[in-house]
Copies of this chain bind each other. A is one copy, B any other.
């Protein structure tokens, strides 16, 4: 990891105040993500993955600690439109068609009409929703809505992609397909990607760095650098020795954070 850190997190704490007393969601998080890294976050449900991603995107303000993105504050980076964010829930606007939803960031960022058209078509076919551009969100299945929200984040050129369980509601085959496409896109564009997933194989297959988190309070338990090649990764790599080794390490790390077994 020779590149200068794009995301630099030091001693980050975050406490939510609730009706029921404070909840410590993140505790003493330290992490550096270099330019062009593909970082996966994995950890038990409720350990703070979403919260950490939201901090990076300046949607949540840490209680203490330091967080810089490309040397500037997260909020400035947000204002510079550095992020593409795929939320855990699809969050499509019900008054826009699917194509309209995908076009939304393009309109906001001032792409020309022709380019909007072009990009919408491209990402729609990437997530295999060509036939559904003119439908409204409530007319789509759950997985289709999730794919539409992925398409929305991929439609414009953000340097940093933050993806919160983007493939959770997809079947294995579409998932594999989108994994490959995402890797291609990443290699082509040299984006920095932060990716939350619950699938250990997915994390290992995609990432250059895997962050294992443990809950209550959310901490980073382990950071695993992947020895897999940054370049070409065929799906078959998932049967390789190295792959299975890392997957094992991740599983052990995860298990440590759980109470049972």
| Residue ranges of A at the interface with B (Cβ–Cβ < 8 Å) | 16, 18-20, 23, 42-51, 88-89, 128, 134-136, 139-144, 146-147, 164-165, 168-175, 177, 198-200, 251, 254-255, 258-261
Contact B18 A139 (CB under 8 A): yes
- 16 example contacts (A-B, Cβ-Cβ < 8 A) are as follows A16-B139, A18-B135, A18-B139, A45-B141, A45-B171, A46-B143, A46-B144, A50-B141, A128-B259, A169-B198, A171-B254, A172-B198, A172-B200, A172-B254, A174-B258, A177-B258
How many angstroms from the CA of A116 to the CA of B82 in the assembled complex?
Answer: 49
How many angstroms from the CA of A23 to the CA of B168 in the assembled complex?
Answer: 25
Note all chain B residues with C-beta closer than 8 A to A255: 173
Contact B258 A50 (CB under 8 A): no
- Given contacts A46-B140, A142-B165, A173-B254, 14 further A-B pairs with CB under 8 A are A16-B139, A42-B171, A43-B171, A44-B174, A45-B146, A47-B141, A49-B141, A88-B142, A171-B254, A173-B255, A173-B258, A173-B261, A177-B260, A177-B261
Asked, given contacts A141-B45, A143-B46, whether A169 binds B88 with beta carbons under 8 Å apart, the answer is yes
Contact A147 B45 (CB under 8 A): yes
How many angstroms from the CA of A143 to the CA of B198 in the assembled complex?
Answer: 10
